[in-house]
Amino acid sequence: MVVVGSGIAGLTAALRAERNGAEVTLVTKGDLDETATRSAQGGIAGVLTASDTTAAHLADTLTAGAGLADPAAARILVEEGPARIRDLIDAGVPFDRDDDGNLRRGLEGAHSHPRILHAGGDATGAAIERTLLDVLERSTVTVLEHAFLLDVVLVDGHAVGVEVLVSGARRTITADAVVLATGGAGRLYPHTTNPAVATGDGIAAALRAGAAVADLEFVQFHPTVLAVGTPFLISEAVRGEGAVLRDSEGRRFALDAHPDGELAPRDIVARAIAEQDGPVVLDATGLGAPDTAAFLAARFPTIDAVLRSRGLDWSREPVPVTPAAHYMMGGVSTDLAGRTTVPRLYAVGETARTGVHGANRLASNSLLEGAVFGARVGDAVIADAGTAWAGPAAGTPLAAVEPSAPDAPPFTRAALQQLMWNHAGLVRDESGLARATAVLAAWSHCGTDRPVDVAAREDANLLRVAVEVVAAARRRRGSVGAHVRRDETPSVPEMQEATAC
């Protein structure tokens, strides 16, 4: 089996399959720890005390999903989650504990109970990544770093390996199963919390292999990303501890948008920020009084160090924040064991669309998803060997769009990101999406999709995924979850025009 990607989903799938007796190769595009997992601050959600219930976690997950989450997938997430968190504890993840040795549990947006575990305050993902990499080092898994995924190799429609680019040379790794765990495509947008490697490589490779994708219109924008310098996530956990958002007049405005204020679902908070006329700040100056500086440094050491390195003392001054692309709820369509529509091809984590998040993901459910569904994939790969493939139903491939934007600007990644931010960002409408469709078609037809080096191949992957995001956003004419259309009730001529496309 070959696993592509080394975040929590890929590592869990690889280690579980190895434990099950599989011969596993893990390839990754950058350094092993260059993943979104490593920078996850918020934590991992799970019910580990009698005062909370999986029914409540399920209800919160389904509510965040805005009616579009698959209840069966969400049930698996919350019911298998505690066991997977215990696996992480057994593996050595140093989750934060109180003076009595009990796990500390934090509250985050749209959770009805404090059930978020953290490690190192705000360095949960880094602690999980480090621990799993330690386990990997002691395992028999063969690791290949700096190997860029070119394509899934198919024989008679079955995945039989991957072709990768290593130091400029093509190399084929044959395997009885391929697992795509390459994360999402946050780099579609100029403002994102995602690492540089998040260029949708797995989703694009799956599309080229003929796999179905779904729900790509649902892109989650995190509300609080530092608005000065390189984008940097300021965890929702900061608002969970009581930090508030203020407009340029110092007024707290989040309660106007939702009774839960700063802890409302992310899409609501993100739009409330985007709708403000002036800059918005996150005010943590009241936390942990009387010694706010000490509290922030102890509870959020990573954020505190980064802000201070940029000359910002957030214990005294609120810091400017902006929404930024954070997470893709959609991806490669899979069943509940990661099987895609292509036999022997699996997808997991942010690359996959299991339906677990519906139209919007609940905070701290993504590390949990990687752990739960990574383990399921690691089991399924073995169980499926030699059996007939039973993945999800195949989708309908997108029809090609003829180029119709003679005024399209020259293709650059920055131009693509700006196009997506303007027309497929926090709020969308038909005319913007139609413009995006036309420009993307022009770029696709002008050869941008026949790349030579890695950066150009990443661009081609982003372009391929952008086409799908925009097409999905055009198809969904009503607002739901993270997908918001300002033209919810389209006129008849607009509908006809869209159908003709």
Residue at shortest CB range from ligand SIN: 42
Other C-beta atoms within 10 Å of 350: how many?
Answer: 32
CA dist 230 and 215 (Å) reads: 29
**Which residues lie below 8 Å from residue 289, measured CB to CB, with a gap of 6+?**
none
Rule CB under 6 A: choose which of 10, 42, 202, 432 binds ligand SIN: 42
Map residue 233 onto helix, strand or coil: strand
Interaction of residue 46 with ligand SIN, rule CB under 6 A: no
Q: How far apart are CA 314 and CA 423, in angstroms?
A: 33
Q: By CB under 6 A, what part of segment 354-373 binds ligand SIN? A: 363-364, 366
How many residues bind ligand SIN (CB under 6 A)? The answer is: 8
Token pair in block for residue 433: 């999406």
Dig out the tokens for 298 from the structure: 């102890």
Pick from 34, 59, 220: nearest CA to 125: 34
CA distance 82 to 367: 12
Strand (E) or helix (H) holding 283: strand 280-283
Residues in the chain, overall count = 501
Q: Which residue shows structure tokens 């952008």? A: 466
Q: What is the nearest approach in angstroms of ligand SIN to the Cβ of residue 267?
A: 13
Q: How far apart are CA 253 and CA 236, in angstroms?
A: 17
DSSP letter at 455 equals: H
The burial class, CB within 10 Å (0-12 / 13-18 / 19+), for 167 is exposed
Query: Interface with ligand SIN includes 322 (CB under 6 A)?
Result: no
Amino acid, res. 63: T
Closest CA to 398 of 170, 211, 250: 211
Q: Is 150 left (phi over 0), alpha (psi -120 to 50) or beta?
A: alpha
Q: Which member of 16, 266, 353, 428 is catalytic? A: 266
Cα–Cα distances in Å, from 475 out to 119, 132, 149, 160, 429? 41, 40, 30, 33, 11
Q: CB nearer to ligand SIN: give 28 or 41.
A: 41
What residues form DSSP beta bridges with 3? 26, 179
Determine if 236 is a binding residue for ligand SIN (CB under 6 A): yes
384 binds ligand SIN (CB under 6 A): no
Phi, psi of 191, deg, nearest 5: -110, 115
**Whether 170 is catalytic:** no
The only residue of 9, 237, 273, 377 in contact with ligand SIN, by rule CB under 6 A:
237
Q: Which two tokens stand for residue 94?
A: 């140093």
For residues 192 and 195, what is the distance between their CA atoms, to the nearest angstrom? 8
Query: How many CB atoms are closer than 10 A to CB 248?
Result: 11
Whether the CB-CB separation of 26 and 3 falls below 8 Å is answered with yes
CA-angle at 426, arms to 415 and 487, nearest 5° = 105
Closer to ligand SIN by CB, 117 or 363: give it: 363
Which of the ranges 230-238, 370-378, 402-410, 458-466 carries the binding residues for ligand SIN, by CB under 6 A? 230-238
Regarding 235 and contact with ligand SIN (CB under 6 A), the answer is: yes
Q: How far is the CB of 237 from ligand SIN (least distance, A)?
A: 6
Footprint of ligand SIN on residues 451-470 (CB under 6 A)? none
Q: Is 131 helix (H, G, I), strand (E, B) or coil?
A: helix
Question: In sequence order, which ranges of 412-453 are alpha helices (DSSP H)?
Answer: 413-423, 430-445
Alpha carbon distances (Å) from 127 to 93, 224, 309, 494 = 6, 22, 22, 50
- When binding is defined by CB under 6 A, the residue of 25, 37, 41, 334 that contacts ligand SIN is 41
Q: Which residues bind ligand SIN (CB under 6 A)?
A: 41-42, 235-237, 363-364, 366
Residues designated catalytic: 266
